[in-house]
Amino acid sequence: MFVMFRRLRRCQCVQLMTTCLVLSLIMMCWEQIDNTVVSHVKSVSFRYLINRFSLVNKSLTIPREQARIFSNFPYLLDHPEKCKDQDVLLLLFVKTSPENIQRREAIRSTWGNQSYIQDSLGVTVKVLFVLGAPVVSDGDTFGPQEQLEFEDKLYSDLIQQDFSDSFHNLTLKLLMQFHWMHHRCAHARFLMTADDDVFVHMPNLVQYLRDTHSKGLTDLWIGRVHRGSPPVRSRSSKYYVPYNMYQWLSYPDYTAGAGYVVSSDVANKIYHATLTLNASLYIDDVFMGICANAVGVSPQEHVFFSGEGKAPTTPVFTTR
């Protein structure tokens, strides 16, 4: 009996210590858990009960003259004749940074090799790298901009505007892509934007776009869809968005910025939406969702864009 009592007391002590440990961890993380849960509950309520995304459009609508400051940057590198007199199936923009030279080289020699695409797949795909101006360090004898100019002389595939290349200017890169297509390559049937750290399976993608075009489908916007996502209000987060930048409880639906595809009619609608919207929100894929919501376009989930970590065993368009 005495042995059993000791075992019982020992078991109770272990349970008590375990409970205290769990409670301590919960208390330490409570603020973060509380903020996350509350923000998602508010977001879902806003999306499904209130559903006032029309208020978002009104709050971000500004005069054209004011909106022009977000896209009226001069080109440092440009190729306005890139698509001239060519039947372009896909205009593919790769978002890159000036220092990511090896990533661009890897893309040119693999999935983004335009000669391979033309010869093997029988279609014209224009692959262009979009970027802003590099930060110049004191003492550079051969600066980053000169390196980019040299790279562009070799490959003629860099599109660059004169704004600082940084995370907080990603939306400016988004505008640059849709404006460049509108003015330089409006006849391309599809537009795709992708990060420079993803792999695009061109045979799968080309086959899908061919089939889609043959069916005459319009209002196409496919990718990995985020629905009812709340703004991040934690100042410690990379994706922190203050209330004065976006006051609402939920974002309109949008696709992950790592890679998505739109048809030419959608690209044209997005271009016109950017002419009257405040583009100070620096989360570019969210701003894409705001533009699309303003012109009545909704994203469509496509399983081939949800292949992160699964690419070798599933058919995909993109994967990291």
pLDDT tens, per residue, the chain with 320 residues: 444 545 546 666 667 666 656 555 555 554 454 445 544 454 455 555 555 677 888 889 999 999 999 999 999 999 999 999 999 999 999 999 999 999 999 999 999 999 999 999 999 999 999 999 998 766 554 689 999 999 999 999 999 999 999 999 999 999 999 999 999 999 999 999 999 999 999 999 999 999 999 999 899 999 999 998 999 999 999 999 999 999 988 999 999 999 999 999 999 999 999 999 999 999 999 999 999 999 999 999 998 886 555 544 455 667 76
Contact by Cβ (8 Å): 191, 288: no
What residues contact residue 195 under an 8 Å CB cut-off, 6+ apart?
Answer: 94, 95, 257, 258, 259, 320
Contact by Cβ (8 Å): 246, 135: no
pTM, entire model? 0.82
- Predicted confidence at residue 54, as pLDDT, reads 76
- As to burial, measured by CB atoms within 10 angstroms (0-12 exposed, 13-18 middle, 19+ buried), residue 113 is middle
- Report phi then psi at 76, rounded to 5: -90, -35
DSSP structure class, residue 312: G
- Predicted confidence at residue 102, as pLDDT, reads 97
Q: What single-letter amino acid sits at 40?
A: H
- As to burial, measured by CB atoms within 10 angstroms (0-12 exposed, 13-18 middle, 19+ buried), residue 82 is middle
Give the span between the Cα atoms of 142 and 88, in whole angstroms.
Answer: 36
Contact by Cβ (8 Å): 149, 77: yes
Q: What does the buried/exposed string (b/e) look like for 268-306 if buried means 16 or more CB atoms within 10 Å of the residue's CB?
A: bbbbebbebbbbebbbbbbbbbbbbbbeebebeebebbb
Instruction: Give domain limits for the chain.
Output: 60-319
- The per-type count for the chain, helices as H runs and strands as E runs, is 10, 12
Write down the architecture of domain 60-319 according to CATH: Alpha-Beta Complex (3.90)
Give the span between the Cα atoms of 210 and 215, in whole angstroms.
Answer: 9
- Predicted confidence at residue 159, as pLDDT, reads 98
Coil, strand or helix at 150: helix
Give the span between the Cα atoms of 273 and 255, in whole angstroms.
Answer: 17
Q: What single-letter amino acid sits at 149?
A: E
- Predicted confidence at residue 140, as pLDDT, reads 58
- Predicted confidence at residue 14, as pLDDT, reads 61
Task: Tell me the H-state helices in the chain.
Answer: 2-45, 53-60, 64-67, 101-109, 114-116, 144-155, 170-184, 202-214, 264-274, 284-294
What residues contact residue 170 under an 8 Å CB cut-off, 6+ apart?
Answer: 95, 257, 282, 283, 284
What residues contact residue 209 under an 8 Å CB cut-off, 6+ apart?
Answer: 89, 90, 189, 190, 261
Which residues are registered as beta bridge partners of 226? 254
- Predicted confidence at residue 47, as pLDDT, reads 55
